[in-house]
Structure 1
Amino acid sequence: METQTGGFGENTKFDDDGRLKRQGTLMTASAHIITAVIGSGVLSLAWAISQLGWIVGILALTMFSLITLYTSCLLANSYRSPDPVLGDRRNYTYMLAVQNNLGGIKYQLCGLAQYGNLVGVAIGYTITSAFSMSAIKRSNCFHSNGHEADCHESNETYMIWYGIIQIFLSQIPNFHKLSVLSVIAAIMSFTYASIGLGLSIAKTAQGGEHPKTSFTLEVTNKQKMWSSFQAIGDIAFAYVFATVLIEIEDTLKSSPPETQVMKKASAIGVSVTTVFYMLCGIMGYLAFGNDAPGNFLTGFGFYEPFWLVDFANACVVLHLVGAYQVFAQPIFKLVEEWSSKRWPECDFIVREYHITIPLFGTWSLNLFRSTWRTIYVVITTVAGITFPFFNNVLGFLGAASFWPLAVYFPIEMHISQSKIPCYSSTWMGLKFLSGLCLIVSLLAAAGSIQGIVQDLTNYRPFTSVS
């Protein structure tokens, strides 16, 4: 067996940490980011702007994109930590980066925030995919039976099918094997966002009386105030990918430096998604006005061109199939590595069975990996069936993850690594940014929780219908 003897020689199979040489590039990292960022969040942006008005809505999109790009570059710097003995030490996960840079209680809080958010995203993607699948069935029903037909569809069956697909895909061993799936998912995200944009432009260009829009934020009643807070949470959810940034960076080749490539990938990913978000949010708001639906793809009446709306919703499903895996892999890795260290002698946990599959080569089967990942998918699917609240769930996930994961920890690690003096102008500026984002996250969380509570008052479990 060939071993590493130092440096990054082309003839070695291993990187400086003794692991198999990483093969990720700027393209694959950008695809992972776009897959993670352009997700179900884009579908709610027209609604978010309708709650905030033109000025505040566009300003919120701009500010979240700039903050996300800045803090992502700070977080990328945390992939390697200086070590007096080992030199630059790799941090394979977000939690490990926080542990090596901040340690203590912050490490535990990071784990709670990160993995809680990853579970929440899996649930949110299950809900969104089911809504898109049921929208396809409803669209065909309206087309066949007329616009007045009763075409309501149960969402539970579609969530179960989505879960079954994820059980099979979850057997992909690790993040390094997801590149093809991420590229396909990224293409799907561009496709449905472009279709939604095109339909919005077409609807706006039809002429006639245009839907009413608001230039400024209009808080006319208490419910409108809560909806405005929730809209901020939806925008925050649309941008957050910090939960998987370090894991994506760990897939990159060692040369050029991972940090350098990751910053470029972040710039590409955030720039591309911001352009799409602006176009979809603005044109969706122009098309529907203050009555914009929570999922703007469902706002075109399910009528004509029904096949194009069907195709867009199919792209949503295909994208979220891949995005689910991007967000699930860090949880899979955490549990599997902890278990193998805790019970290294247990064959059920550590033994790999190599199975030859005709035309596909050799498949490595691990019984614990297969069992645990199946259980995880089942849990997230059942949770999605139990609480199928699209907009409120997205808003809460965005609010709960944006400040701690996308702002607080990246800033704190940057201050620690750069040894920025307390109360210096740089320190004060970073703390002010962190405090401002905390306030925004708290307001967004409050709005989303209020919306979930309101939904629960009129909801019966396992009876979700679109």
Structure 2
Amino acid sequence: MVDNSATTRQQGQHSVFDLSLEALPDTDSKIFDDDGRLKRSGTVCTASAHIITAVIGSGVLSLAWATAQLGWIAGPIVMFLFSFVTYYTSSLLADCYRSGTGKRNYTYMDAVQSNLGGIKVKICGIVQYINLFGVAIGYTIAASISMMAIKRSNCFHASHDKGPCKISSTPYMIIFGATEIFFSQIPDFDQIWWLSIVAAVMSFTYSTVGLGLGVAQVAENGKLRGSLTGISVGTVTEAQKIWRSLQALGDIAFAYSYSMILIEIQDTIKSPPAESKTMKKATLISVAVTTLFYTLCGCMGYAAFGDLAPGNLLTGFGFYNPYWLLDIANAAIVVHLIGAYQVYCQPLFAFIEKKASDALPASKFITKEIQIPIPGFMPYNLNLFRLVWRTVFVIITTVISMLLPFFNDVVGLLGALGFWPLTVFYPVEMYISQKKIPTWSAKWVCLQILSVSCLIVSIAAAAGSVAGVILDLKSYKPFNASY
């Protein structure tokens, strides 16, 4: 079984994998959980922070553009439908944290192994980790664009909106990558709760600024822009209208994607009450809050700019003033994405480190922890393999980001590729298996209809995003992107 959870938790010099309650005195049950690991301390609050950090990411910034492609009718309806599907399937997935015997599944792949097994586990692993890798690239692109937006807004202000202010994205991607190299040395998921809370606060900050600026622009215009069916043929060709509408589905799907790390988040929650009960409550709160923000930001951005809604609400320069408020919002985006990058990458980090430890258990380079004293804090456990591999990972994602700095298209493609398999198919199949729902029963048929419908949407969204990437590549020179 694959275990890519917080595998580095330590008790003194002993791995948590060596501990079991049977070997411990009864008094230690106050310190350890039923699986022998340290008592989990997560709550509805921390789980919600993790989810909001993962969900309200850079995806919210493309929702005004997505709404512009779909229009006043389809735009809000599609957002609501995605939120409902995400909440429903996340609730199914939360029930899969423990198997029928009560055994914990520490990771998404563990849950698939327990409930489905076979080739589906390998396929799930490939899809999940490619998606996590892709999210790291998407967040690097988004963070660099926000850093550039700060520089550009100050440039426009200094030149009284007359300067060209062309800026290369490469230095900013390097800065973001260097920051992530530092934060990636946080050993495991449990220890980034504080980073998630900071990131969640930042996400509300820039979403609120985007919403406020949209409201102010609508008030200045004196009317709501846009149409019932979205951007009109004439402004774009018929083919562009189709591809953009499909890409908009991918953008919205990406904005709701977090199921791939749901089990890892649930593994941080304390019990009683049952982890699934806490997780469902956190999911309901988080999805409700994010849907409200998404609808407001997407709709107000569209109302403010109509067909000209920018691909990134805060960096597309639909807004120029007040420049200092845009600077605050974009700085908040960068801080948020620093945390979100870690929330998504920690499961991938832990998976590789577990596989390496299992393959070469005698290697000191892989397993040895070097304690580094930090005055006023707990000693930091430095692991050389963790240092080298995570640094290499961040460098690779940064270089790829320099090659493909297409915010909207990358966001849409990631959303399309990850939504159906990880958010819908596997949760549905695991739930059917765990609850032993009879084939062709009414509930089984309804779940399959949901799954197939989402598959069709994902394929369509992927096609639209690929078309967008191909179009961008025709006029793009690698490592020479400027905005």
Partner of 1:214: 227
Mapped to 1, the partners of 2:30 and 2:398 lie a distance apart of 43
Q: What aligned pairs does 1:109-188 form with structure 2 within 5 A after superposition?
A: 109-188=123-202
* Equivalent residues of 2:68, 2:231 under 8 A apart: no
Give the direction of change, closer, same or farther, for the CA distance of 1:218–1:356 in structure 2 (3 Å limit).
closer
Matching residue of 1:235: 252
SS at match of 1:321: helix
Q: Superposed, which structure 2 residues align to 1:356-435 within 5 Å?
A: 356-435=373-452
User: How many angstroms does 1:12 deviate by?
Assistant: 3.1
The equivalent residue for 1:261 is 278
| Distance in 1 separating the partners of 2:27 and 2:75 | 50
Partner of 1:33: 51
2:30 aligns to what SS in structure 1? coil
Aligned residues: 461
Structure 1 residue 357 displacement after superposition: 1.7
Letter paired with 1:418 = K
Residues in 2 aligned to 1:444 and 1:103: alpha-carbon distance in whole angstroms: 29
Alpha-carbon separation, structure 1, partners of 2:26 and 2:150:
51
Query: 1:71 maps to which residue?
Result: 89
Alignment check: 8 A CA contact 1:211 1:290 kept: no
- Alignment partner, residue 372 of structure 2: 355
Verify the 8 A CA contact 2:310 2:317 in the aligned structure 1.
Answer: no
Q: d(CA) in 2 for partners of 1:430 and 1:7?
A: 46
Backbone CA RMSD of aligned residues: 1.6
Local SS of the residue matching 2:381: strand
TM-fit CA distance, 1:396: 0.3
Give 5+ residue unaligned stretches, structure 2.
Answer: 1-10, 12-18
- AA of the residue aligned to 1:95: M
Q: Structure 1 residues 448 and 326, CA, compared in 2 at 3 Å: closer, same or farther?
A: same
Q: Give deviations 1:243-286, integer Å, cap 9, x for gaps.
A: 10000000011211111100001001100000000110111110
> 2:63 matched to 1:50?
no
**Which secondary structure state, in structure 2, belongs to the residue aligned with residue 274 of structure 1?**
helix
Partner of 2:14: none
CA displacement at 1:8 relative to structure 2: 9.2
Partner of 2:39: 21
In structure 1, give the amino acid aligned to 2:229. Answer: T
Question: 5+ unaligned residues in a row in structure 1: which ranges?
Answer: none
Helix, strand or coil at the partner of 1:354: strand
**Greater CA deviation, 448-457 or 15-24?**
15-24
CA distance in 1, matches of 2:331, 2:28: 42
Q: What is the alpha-carbon distance in structure 2 between the residues aligned to residue 138 and residue 215 of structure 1? A: 34
Specify whether residues 116 and 428 from structure 1 end up closer, same or farther in structure 2 by C-alpha distance, changes over 3 A only. Answer: same
User: Does structure 2 retain, via aligned residues, the 8 Å contact 1:402–1:441?
Assistant: yes
Equivalent-residue separation in structure 1 for 2:266 and 2:82 (angstroms)? 22
* Pairing partner for 1:93 from 81, 96, 107: 107
| 1-structure distance, mates of 2:224, 2:482 | 27
Aligned counterparts of 1:217 and 1:310: Cα–Cα separation in 2? 30
Offset of residue 4 of structure 1: 2.6
Contact 2:230-2:307 at 8 Å conserved across structures: no
Does the Cα contact within 8 Å between 2:211 and 2:300 map onto a contact in 1?
Answer: yes
Separation in structure 2 between the aligned mates of residue 72 and residue 339 of structure 1, nearest angstrom: 30
Q: Distance in 2 between matches of 1:115 and 1:415?
A: 24
- Structure 2 residue aligned with 1:313: 330
1:346 aligns with 2:363: yes
Q: Distance in 2 between matches of 1:113 and 1:384?
A: 20
C-alpha distance in 2 between matches for 1:253 and 1:212: 48
Residues of 2 paired with 1:465 and 1:299: CA distance?
Answer: 13
Q: 2:240 aligns with which of 223, 231, 234?
A: 223
* Identity percentage of aligned residues: 56
CA shift in 2, pair 1:144/1:110, >3 Å = same
Deviation, structure 1 residue 148: 1.3
Distance 2:231 2:54 in 1: 32
Counterparts of 1:408 and 1:7, CA distance in 2: 43
4+ residue runs over 4 A deviation: 5-11, 299-302
Matches of 2:26 and 2:83, distance apart in 1 = 35
Whole-angstrom distance in 2 between the partners of 1:451 and 1:257:
45
Q: Which of 193, 197, 200 does residue 214 from structure 2 map onto?
A: 200
Give the distance between the partners of 1:320 and 1:403, measured in 2 at CA. Answer: 24
Contact 1:3–1:12, Cα closer than 8 Å, also in 2: no
8 Å contact from structure 2 (residues 185, 390) kept in 1: yes
Cα distance in 2 for residues equivalent to 1:8 and 1:334: 32
CA distance in 2, matches of 1:15, 1:343: 28
Post-superposition Cα deviations, 1:53-74, rounded to whole Å, max 9, x if no partner, equal 1111011000000000000000
- Deviation track 1:342-363 (CA, whole Å, cap 9, x = no partner) reads 1110000001111112233311
- Per the alignment, residue 354 of structure 2 pairs with 337
Structure-2 change in CA distance of 1:277 and 1:9 (3 Å):
farther
In 2, the alpha carbon distance for the partners of 1:218 and 1:163 equals 36
CA distance in 1, matches of 2:169, 2:192: 28
- Over 3 Å counting, the alpha-carbon distance change for 1:306 and 1:350 in structure 2 is same
2:293 paired residue number: 276
Q: Is the 8 A contact 2:310 2:318 kept in 1?
A: no
**Which of 265, 268, 276 is 1:248 aligned to?**
265
Matches of 1:252 and 1:7, distance apart in 2: 23
Does structure 2 conserve the Cα–Cα contact (< 8 Å) formed by 1:138 and 1:302?
no
